[in-house]
Amino acid sequence: MLKKRVITTLVIIPLPVAAIWFGEPWFTALMAVVAVLGVMEFYRLAVASRASPLACIGVVLTLLFIVSRNPNLLSFLAPRFDPGLLIPLLLMLAIALPMLWLLIRPRTGTAFVNWAWTLGGILYVGWLLSHLVSLRGMTDGMNWVFLVILANAASDTTAFFIGRSFGRHRLAPRISPNKTWEGALAGVVGAMVFSLLFTAPRLFAATNPLYVEGFIYWQALSLGLLVSVFGQLGDLAESLLKRHAGVKDSGGLLPGHGGILDRMDSIIFAGIVVYYYVVWVIQ
């Protein structure tokens, strides 16, 4: 299992790094693929929970949410259509289309459950993950996305090793019995310390490619804390979905790692908090 995990990691890391580095249209394309695969896994969890979500509608709307954040598309639409109306329009379609479709189906006993699962996949994967596309399109967007991923990785790694070595108090035993308060707190510290790297213009006498101009220490510490907390909440949320469905992993696409949602659960939530922090505090 460890060998499979290492091989899979070495194979999949270069692709997202290149997409983040080179930006559009590669980053939106990557997020579109991840979102489609992720929402398909979400609907498989729904089926395992004895629901019948409208997967086709969910996949299409998830893809539209991702594409709607592409800065090149927004620039193209600006003279012809108010880009600010895109997200409200897609939210309306996400709520209304599945409901209208379920109204014409003969089986109505589980209609509400099926509608809720369909909408949940669109919002959880499509709408939330689309914030990363918007984040990449901002000033210093490349570095903000790297902060989401790397600070989250620092949180996960620190939490794992400290929790495994010193963890005694269970964090959420009914959802994820291996997580401990000691590991969770260590993860917060790890993310906060790592976020400080983004405030340093130079590292070891060399230019720091992760440096974000104007990003100061207290902002890095507070954002690192938020990334870790929300990332861990995202991990627990996905664990709750898997426990409800009675499965260990969301999928088997990534040998040794599980599915797409298993890798993206914390990043989805961390991406949201970084996006709104940049919008409300930095810019």
- pLDDT value at residue 109: 64
* Whole-number Å distance between alpha carbons of 65 and 126: 6
The answer to whether residue 10 scores a pLDDT higher than 50 is no
- pLDDT value at residue 104: 82
Residue 156 vs residue 13, higher pLDDT: 156
* Whole-number Å distance between alpha carbons of 203 and 14: 23
Predicted confidence band of residue 73 (pLDDT cuts 50, 70, 90): confident
The answer to whether residue 8 scores a pLDDT higher than 50 is no
The answer to whether residue 1 scores a pLDDT higher than 70 is no
The answer to whether residue 7 scores a pLDDT higher than 50 is no
Tokens 């959802």, located at residue: 175
Tokens 């003969």, located at residue: 106
Predicted confidence band of residue 256 (pLDDT cuts 50, 70, 90): low
Tokens 């929790």, located at residue: 163
The rounded percent of the chain whose pLDDT value lies above 90 is 71
pTM of the entire structure?
0.92
CB atoms within 10 A of CB 141: 20
Question: In this structure, what token pair is assigned to residue 80?
Answer: 């012809």
Please state which of the ranges 14-23, 37-46, 100-109, 196-205 shows the lowest mean pLDDT.
100-109
**Angular region, 53: left φ>0, alpha ψ -120 to 50, beta rest:** beta
